[in-house]
Structure formats: structure tokens, C-alpha cells
Amino acid sequence: MMKEITIKTKHQPCELCGGSMLFFTATKAFRRIKGVENVDANYEDSAWTIQYDGKQQTKKRIDQVIDDMGFSSQ
């Protein structure tokens, strides 16, 4: 069963602090999670829309990737 979530972060990435690279790295990390089918990153809104197989993955695990990368999810 495919599910879709949009996760926004409290962290606003910026070019000067290297936040854009961290945002890009987190996007790549989402794509490596088992069961994740598609990741759409919205840099301007600091958000990701993630489509994943609900039988293989949970929102909790996806939130954990955000925390591991130094972001805080809303």
C-alpha cells in the first residue's frame, strides 16, 4: 500500500551556511530507505514529499532520518 507524506523542517537551509548541501544529503538519504519509491524535495519550503510502501516502511523511520541529519521535523 503506497503512502505519501510531506515533511517540513524547522531548519531553513541557506547557501552561506552550507544548509543547502545538508538538505541535498538528506534527500539522498531518504531515497536509500527501503520502501521509499519517490522523494520530491522543495528547497524553498524546506520540505520533502515522500512516497513509500507502507508495508515496508513507517513515517517514524523517515522522521528519524531527518533527526539524524540535524533537521527538526514539524
**Is the CB of residue 25 less than 8 Å from the CB of residue 19?**
no
Question: Could you give all domains of the chain from N- to C-terminal order, each with its CATH number?
Answer: 2-68 (3.30.70.100)
d(CA 49, CA 59): 12
Residue 66, pLDDT > 70, answer yes
pLDDT tens digits along 8-29: 877 655 655 555 676 777 788 8
**Is the CB of residue 43 less than 8 Å from the CB of residue 53?**
no
Residue 42, pLDDT > 80, answer yes
Q: Model confidence at 4, in pLDDT bands (50, 70, 90)?
A: very high
